[in-house]
Amino acid sequence: MRGDVSDAVVPAALVPGPQAARGQRAAAVFDGDWTLVAVDQASADLLGRRREELAGRNIWIALPELAGTIFHSFLLHARSVGERVTWRGFYPPAGCWLDATAERVDDRLHVSLRRSVGPVPDGPADPAAEAAEYDRLRFLAEVSEAMTSTLDPGESVATLADLVVPRLCDWAVVTVLGDDGGPADEGRAHRDPARLADLDLYLGGRVRSSNDDNPMVTALLTGEPIHLPTIDPALAEPAFGGSEEVRAAWERLDPASITVVPLRARAETFGVLGLVNTSTRPPHGEMEIATAVEVARRASLAIDNARLYGRQLAVAETLQRSLLTPPPQPEGLEIAARYLPASSTLHVGGDWYDAFQQPDGATLLVIGDVVGHNVDAAAAMGQIRSILRGIAYDRHEEPARVLTRVDAALTGLRIGTLATALIARIEQAPELAATGRRILRWASAGHLPPLLVRADGRVELLDGDPQTLLGAESTRSRSDSVADVGTGDTLLFYTDGLVEQGRTGIDEGTARLVDAVRELGPVPPDRLCDALTERIVGRRPDDDVAIVAVRCHPRDGAPSRDGAPRQEGAPAAGR
C-alpha cells in the first residue's frame, strides 16, 4: 500500500458542488492499491475535486484530507470484510453528511455515496468498534500535543519514535534528511530496553544504500507509504557491509515485517518513519497503516517547523558571530567577552560589544544595547556598531566626542532606532608605563556604569553622567569621565540583561552583581565572565546579555607585531 502524507489545507472547493444534489447517488471503484480506477462526476463533486484530479490516482494522494476521518476508517473496514457494509456520518472535509455503501468484489472495492440530511439516526452500534475508534483518536490527539512541545529537531524525531513504540510497532526508526541530502537527525525506540544496544549497533554500523529496492529509499522517492508483510533477508544483506557484528544485531532485533511512512510537509518529503514488527507480532493491518499515515502527517508539520526554526537559528547565530568578533589581546591587557541571547528569541538581539586598538596604541572598548529584540534589533545593532567602529577608528578623539558624532550619523542617515552605549578608552602614556598605571576615559549614552575590581579585591562602581541615548536627537552636550587603573585591576562592562535577570530592578540587580564580583575576587577575565553568567543568568537568560572583562597586566616591554615597542595612548604620527 502506498499513500501521501501531504499537510495541504483543505480548500474551499471541498464544499459539494451543484451536481452533488441531495439524494443523488455517486459511485467510485478502488483497486487493491487504493487507486481510483473508476469515478463518476457526482463522486467528484461530493469530494470537492474535478473528475480528472481523481481518476487513475491513489486516493491518499488525491485526497490527503481523507486520512484520519471516520469515512477513512469505514473504507478500511469495508476492504477487510467480505460483505456489503454501510455507514452514515458527517464528513468534515466536505462539510456534509454522507450515506455510504461499500462492497469488495475480488480485489476491488465498490463504493456508492449519497449526500444525506441531518445527524446520524439512533440505532444499534458496535461498542468495540466505537471504543477502538475513540482510543485511536485519543492517540492521535496525544501525538499532536507531544509533537508541538519542542522546536528542537533532534528532540522531535526522538519524541516521534517514542510515541509509536509499542503502540504501532515493536521498534521504530525516524530519519530526517539535512540540506545536503544526508541524514541530519535520527530517532529510535524499542519496546524492550534490553534491545536498544542492538538497535544502536545496527543503526551505527549499517551501510546506507540508495538502492531503489530499499523501502526507506522508495518511500522517500515516491512520497508514499511502503508496507512489506515479510522482509526478504536478501533485502537487508547490503546494510551489513560484511560485518558479522551488525548482522548479529539485526538478527537479534528479529525484524519480520515493516511499514515505512514518509515524513512530508509543504510539498517536500524530508524523512521517513520506519515501523518494524518482530515475529511475535503480526504485520500491520490496513487500520494500523492508516493510523501510521495520520501520525506521520501530524508529526511531519511539527518536525518541519523544528527544521525551519533550526535553519533560522543557524542563520541568526552566523549573523551574530559575524557582528561580535573575538576581542584583541593588546600587550599588557587581557580581554574576555561573552554574549548570551535571550532564551525566547532566535539567539540574536540588540546587545553588542566591541574592542579594538586605535592607531595611537590605545584600546577602545564598546558595549551597548539596541532597544528591541530579535533580528530587527540585531540588524540595527549591526549598523550602529559599524558606524561607531568607523568613527572611533577614524581619528583620535575622546569617547564623548565619538558618541556625539555617532549620534549625528544616526540622525543624518535616518537609522531610526534608540540604543544605549558606553565607550571606554584605556590609555597608557610613556610616563605612566613605568608605574603600571593606565587612564580609563569613558562616556555613556544611557548605559550602565562599569565596575572596577582592584587587585586587592575591592569593587568600585564607576558612576558617571549616563547622558541621553543614541538616536534620541538630544542637543545636550556629552562629557567624559576619568579613572586611574593599576596593574592587576579588572574592568567589567555589561548590559542590563545581567542585572535585570529574574525581573530584578536595576538598583537591586547592580547590588547583586557587585556582591558576586566581590565574592569571586580578582579572578582572570574568562573565569569572571563564565562565573557571572553561571551564577546570575544560568542557561535561560530573560534578556540578551553582553559582558566584557579587561585585566591590566604589567608591561613586559615585548615588541608589537611590527617589531617596534608599543606605547598605549601615545600620540599617533601626524596627530
For the chain, percent of residues with pLDDT exceeding 90 = 36
For the beta sheet containing 255-265, the strands, ordered from the edge strand earlier in sequence to the opposite edge, are 183-190, 171-177, 268-278, 255-265, 226-228
Residue 3 has pLDDT above 60, yes or no: no
Measured between its terminal Cα atoms, the distance across the chain in Å is 82
Q: Mean pLDDT lowest for which of 131-140, 425-434, 514-523?
A: 131-140
Confidence bin at 374 (pLDDT 50/70/90) = low
By CB atoms closer than 10 A (0-12, 13-18, 19+), residue 488 is: middle
Residue with the larger pLDDT of the pair 72 and 437:
437
Residue with the larger pLDDT of the pair 145 and 77:
145
State how far the Cα of 422 lies from the Cα of 263, in Å rounded to an integer. Answer: 50
pLDDT (tens digit per residue) in 214-229: 888 888 888 888 889 9
pLDDT (tens digit per residue) in 139-188: 888 898 899 888 888 899 999 999 999 999 999 999 998 877 777 788 99
pLDDT (tens digit per residue) in 32-50: 878 899 999 888 888 888 8
Q: What is the DSSP string of 94-114?
A: TTEEEEEEEEEETTEEEEEEE
Q: CATH homologous superfamily of domain 332-552? A: PPM-type phosphatase domain (3.60.40.10)
State how far the Cα of 181 lies from the Cα of 163, in Å rounded to an integer. Answer: 26
Instruction: Enter the CATH code of domain 12-122.
Output: 3.30.450.20
Contacts of 256 (CB under 8 A, 6+ apart): 230, 231, 277, 278, 279, 281, 283
Confidence bin at 22 (pLDDT 50/70/90) = very low
Can you give the pLDDT at residue 348? 64
Can you give the pLDDT at residue 128? 66
Can you give the pLDDT at residue 172? 95
- Angle formed at CA 504 by CA 499 and CA 507, multiple of 5 degrees: 65
Pairing of strands 349-357, 85-91: unpaired
Confidence bin at 117 (pLDDT 50/70/90) = low
Does residue 166 have a cis bond before it (omega within 30 degrees)? yes
Can you give the pLDDT at residue 334? 95
Residue 311 has pLDDT above 60, yes or no: yes
Domain locations in the chain? Answer: 12-122, 131-315, 332-552
Can you give the pLDDT at residue 210? 66
pTM: 0.56
Residue 23 has pLDDT above 70, yes or no: no
Helix intervals (H) in 277-373: 286-323
Chain-centre distance for alpha carbon 9: 23
Helices 70-80 and 127-147 meet at what angle, rounded to 10?
130
Can you give the pLDDT at residue 423? 96
**Domain 131-315 CATH assignment equals 3.30.450.40:** yes
Domains 12-122 and 131-315 belong to one CATH topology = yes
* Average pLDDT score, the chain: 82
State how far the Cα of 459 lies from the Cα of 532, in Å rounded to an integer. Answer: 15
Residue 453 has pLDDT above 90, yes or no: yes
pLDDT (tens digit per residue) in 333-368: 999 999 887 766 555 678 889 999 988 889 999 999
pLDDT (tens digit per residue) in 401-423: 999 999 999 988 888 889 999 99
Residue with the larger pLDDT of the pair 548 and 474:
548
Residue 574 has pLDDT above 60, yes or no: no
